[in-house]
Amino acid sequence: MTLDISSAPTPSDTTDHAPPSAPTGPPPPGARRAQLLRDVPASLAVFLIAVPFSLGIALATGAPLTAGLVSAAVGGLVVGLLGGTPLQVSGPSAALTVVTAGLLAQYGWQIACAVTVAAGLLQLLLGSLRVARAALAVSPAIVHGMLAGVGLTIALAQLHVVLGGSPQSSAAANLVALPAQLAGPHLPALAVGLVSIAVLFGWPRLDRLPGRAGELGGRLAKIPAALASVAAATALAVFAGLRLARVELPEWDHHVLASMPPASLLAQQWPALVAAVLTVTAVASVESLLSAVAVDRMSHSSSDLDRELRGQGAANLLSGLLGGLPVAGGAVRSTANIQAGAATRMSTVLHGCWVLLAAVALTGGLRHIPLAALAALVLVVGVQMVSFAHIRRVHRHREFPVYLATVLGVVLLGVPLGVTIGGAVAALLALYRLTRAHVDVVAEADGSYAVRTHGPLTFAAVPKLSRALARIPVGSSVTVCHDGSFLDHAAYEALHVWRAGHQATGGRVAILTKRQEGEVLDPDGTLRSGSSTGPHRCRAWTPWVGHHCIEQGSDDPHGRLLDGVRGFQQHTAPLVRKELARLARDGQTPSQLFLTCADSRMVTSMITNSGPGDLFTVRNVGNLVPAPHEPGAADDSVAAAVQYAVEVLEVGSITVCGHSGCGAMKALLDGVHEQPGPPTALTRWLRNGRGSLARLRRVPAEFEGRPVVDTVEQLCITNVVQQLDQLLANPAVERRVASGELRLVGMYFDFATAQAYVLDQDSGRFVPVSAGPAGLPEGQDGPDGQAEQELAA
């Protein structure tokens, strides 16, 4: 299985919110070697981006070019070792370019470095106070908007370099200058850039070539595409003798370290210096934490943000002392790191080593690389940060205004102001939704009126509420039903005054609120609870999430069942009646057979997000598929269901789904099926699991990225693999699988974490399903670099 940007990093040792099943011990030697084989190429790919980035930011601030390499090396080594986001790559902060340039112009380079040192100390303090988790409250629309804005800004700047020109000081200036640059490009630079982009996109597809070329291409495709693209473009420039701007690595003879500001300057300028320290601290911290949250979303991991902030503080402290630029987590470098397949923090550390090595010993070789080749590489990474999948997602959640405001703010005003604007739009949107209410007046057949309110009734909704109530004829009977959302004093007072006036004209008013406990407002305005007549007290689709919705003292299970059916008839049946009528008329046409356990906690329609007619479901103890060759243990009911699904319904996939804590697996491990004496029905049935026990001893199944909790869990997932094999013993299944018309899928559901896993056929391991737009398995590439291949089940 090819893991792209959904590669899961190793959780930090001190993370506060790592998954319960995250591995805590060191990986086995084989896994460590496999991780290193992914980390080394990824570190080289990030190194190729970090060098021109660092030099470009140093040049833009007016600082010594060596300062960019110092901050890149320190960011990789220090934050890579100490940070709490393993796959985040830190380096000189693009968001602080203007701030650093101002400090340098006003106070000189050494004092600018001293400000960086002070900002690092303040970050260490803030990380120790554990305030970094506030970044988790940032809307995903702001995070994705920040990534897209940074990507567009970088792409616009690098496009000028690819065309043979020089980037301007801002994204707006780059846009203004772009038409003139397009009208007169530098053809050699453009040719080198296009070759670099072509190799970058074509290199991973070499294995698709026909015949022997495909075999050779498959071996070559293991080389990082970024490395291949830069090598090809450099070879073209060297052998063709093209005159191009190339990488200019600086000399170290005149490198300047930090120094304390003079006492006279501190006495005169201390307010401005304190403000500068606070600005650098705030911008670097926000940029790093937002990038860390974005990395978590891309890699499906969980960071220790306080540890990350402390790591950034240590890096800024050391970078300032060594004469480097301010350091922050970088969205572009981190995205490239994940896309290149990095597995652990070693990729970040190695990238810092390569930067240090290049700055000291490899200056001669790197000076042959054309800037246009590196710019093309960075341009592609920047464009890929604008994800259409993210745009569709935020649009579906009605957060597109936040996303757009953040993108435009970052592009036009920079990261700090852009994120601030996005946050302001998010707050205004939330406030609008909190004060938005619908009031519907419906005339009933008996001459009465029903007033239904939806959403919070606050002072902002009082005019709308008053207009609706004024349309009701005097003397009529009215039922006002509030949906249970917030009701503030102003809205309550308006409702109370209207009711008193309406009752004074001879009308009747009943005010109800559909709250979880079935509360009713008495005529005097007090709440009276317990209006529900049965044990179920919650509305449709909300009750099951808590047993608190059911009276625990009731000793009539059948009564609870009938009350639940009544609730279905009242609330849910009107919603599904049309679809069920269509299914009754047209017959069932499910696309999948879902074979799972009879455990009461396994709600198949919930974990597959399916509805009536979607799944042909078979449930039994232990989700077993009896093999025909098992003497005295076969069961024709399962085989009949499989045959009917495959031959009559012609389903496209069969999913065998196990679950955690399976009682049947525990019984198998306890040897219930081997007990002496006359076999019971359960004993005979469990004998169908003997093949799973044998497989457990030979080749136990494993998870991708985490160890099994115990032997029971290992047997649960091994049993899924075994039952898939036993399914193939059915001739109808074997025939359709061989023809490619049927797919077999292994699935496992962990109740404790509500996490589903699917069996990857290539690696033979169970891979966690991500929380992406379609509930997708991690490690499958998609258009936005995230898991985008649909789950077959």
Q: What are phi and psi of 387, to 5 degrees?
A: -100, 120
Catalytic: 716? no
Catalytic: 762? no
Query: 144, 300, 537, 659: which one is catalytic?
Result: 659
Positive or negative, the Cα torsion across 542, 547, 548, 550?
positive
Q: Please provide the distance, in angstroms rounded to a whole number, between the alpha carbons at the two ends of the chain.
A: 18
Catalytic: 538? no
Is residue 92 within 8 Å of residue 57, measured between CB atoms? yes
Catalytic: 597? yes
CA 40 – CA 44 distance, rounded (Å): 6
CA 769 – CA 745 distance, rounded (Å): 13
Query: 601, 629, 670, 735: which one is catalytic?
Result: 601
CA 704 – CA 719 distance, rounded (Å): 17
Q: Residue 253 CB: number of other CB atoms within 10 A?
A: 6
Query: 113, 538, 657, 662: which one is catalytic?
Result: 662
Q: Which residues, listed in sequence order, are joined to residue 597 by a DSSP beta bridge? A: 620
Q: Which residues, listed in sequence order, are joined to residue 487 by a DSSP beta bridge? A: 457
Query: 113, 597, 657, 716: which one is catalytic?
Result: 597
What angle do helix axes 187-202 and 371-384 make, rounded to 10 degrees? 50
* CA angle (415 as vertex; 339, 275 as ends), nearest 5: 130
Catalytic: 662? yes
| Cα-based distances in Å from 340 to 137, 227, 293, 716 | 29, 11, 19, 34
Is residue 728 within 8 Å of residue 741, measured between CB atoms? no
- Closest alpha carbon to 277 in 226, 322, 229, 317: 317
Read out DSSP for 376-427? Answer: HHHHHHHHHTS-HHHHHHHHHTT-HHHHHHHHHHHHHH-HHHHHHHHHHHHH
Helices and strands of the chain, counted as H and E runs: 30, 15
- Tokens 């609120």 map to which residue? 513
Report the run of H or E that residue 168 belongs to, with start and end: none
DSSP 655: E
Query: 4, 296, 306, 599: which one is catalytic?
Result: 599
Q: What are phi and psi of 769, to 5 degrees?
A: -85, 130
What are 136's two structure tokens? Answer: 């988790």
Residues marked as catalytic: 597, 599, 601, 659, 662
